[in-house]
Amino acid sequence: MVQISQTEEDIKISIELNRLVTRKPDVVLLPQYLKFNNPPIFFERHLAQEIDEMASFCRIFKNEARIVLVKKEKGFWPEMFQKLDKEALMQKRLEIADLIVERNKKRDEKALERYENKRRAEIEKEIKRETAMRERLKQFQENSVREALVVDVRKDSATPKAEQPSSVPSASRLATPLMRPPMSSVRGSGRITVSFSSQHKRSTPMRESQTTVDNAYAAAGGPNAAVNPPMESLDE
């Protein structure tokens, strides 16, 4: 079911949609042409006067589609659509097809141009961001070096001046032996004499074996017996 109404500024068309339709409709709006295709619904008209195709629009709702055609010149149209025979209609369709192809081509070119412009803007933005980061890093490094120099100058001014280094090469200084404290003298060799002033003598008791030998020696005749042994009588 299609309902059409007009005012001095626009034409409103309401198309009832089938609830089973889930496909996105194909809508074409040209200065003197209108097409709404959403199978099994097909609505096509050739307009009697021109419209502003850029201001016109189509909105899809749950149960209907609303098309608003904004008139190029305000006023009521006595006839909104052209009445064409079959041959004229076929000729118009061929012209519209070529026009649609040309229009889609221009639309694709504009879309590509917008994409390139957007991409170029993103690249330029990225370049600016990286450049800014490099500048901040360079400034940070310069500030760090400057602060390090200031700290070194403060340290030099706070510490007393050291003695001037000698003109002797470093290799000679390394070869010079270190000074050590003198070692204590070593005690020489010699003999130590020990004397005892006491005259006390203490006899050691004889062992039992020595006592037995002395008794046997006394029984034999004593010391003389050993020197002059008894002689045998000649008479015997």
Which pTM value belongs to this model?
Answer: 0.45
Q: What is the pLDDT of residue 37?
A: 87
CATH 3.40.5.10 fits 2-83, yes or no: no
Q: What is the pLDDT of residue 234?
A: 43
> Please, which pLDDT band fits residue 69 given cuts at 50, 70 and 90?
very high
Query: How far are the Cα atoms of 49, 121, 178, 187 from residue 184, in angstroms, in the given order?
Result: 131, 90, 18, 9
Of the candidates 68, 53, 65, 70, which has an alpha carbon nearest to the alpha carbon of residue 25?
Answer: 65
Angle at 189 between CA 184 and CA 191, to 5 degrees: 135
Mean pLDDT, the chain, as a whole number? 76
Q: Looking at per-residue confidence, does 115 or 192 come out higher?
A: 115
* Residues contacting residue 209 through CB under 8 Å, at least 6 positions apart: none
The answer on pLDDT for 91 being more than 50 is yes
Query: How far are the Cα atoms of 135, 149, 157, 158 from residue 146, in angstroms, in the given order?
Result: 16, 5, 17, 19
Q: What is the pLDDT of residue 222?
A: 52
Q: Percentage of residues in the chain with pLDDT exceeding 90?
A: 13
Q: What is the pLDDT of residue 39?
A: 82
Q: What is the pLDDT of residue 218?
A: 54
Q: What is the pLDDT of residue 122?
A: 92
CB-based contact 9:52 (threshold 8 Å)? no
Q: Tens digit of pLDDT for each residue in 18-36?
A: 766 667 888 888 888 888 8
> Please, which pLDDT band fits residue 87 given cuts at 50, 70 and 90?
confident
Q: Looking at per-residue confidence, does 78 or 184 come out higher?
A: 78
Q: What is the pLDDT of residue 236?
A: 42
What is residue 26's DSSP assignment? E
Domain limits of the chain?
Answer: 2-83
CB atoms < 10 A from the CB of 27, how many? 17
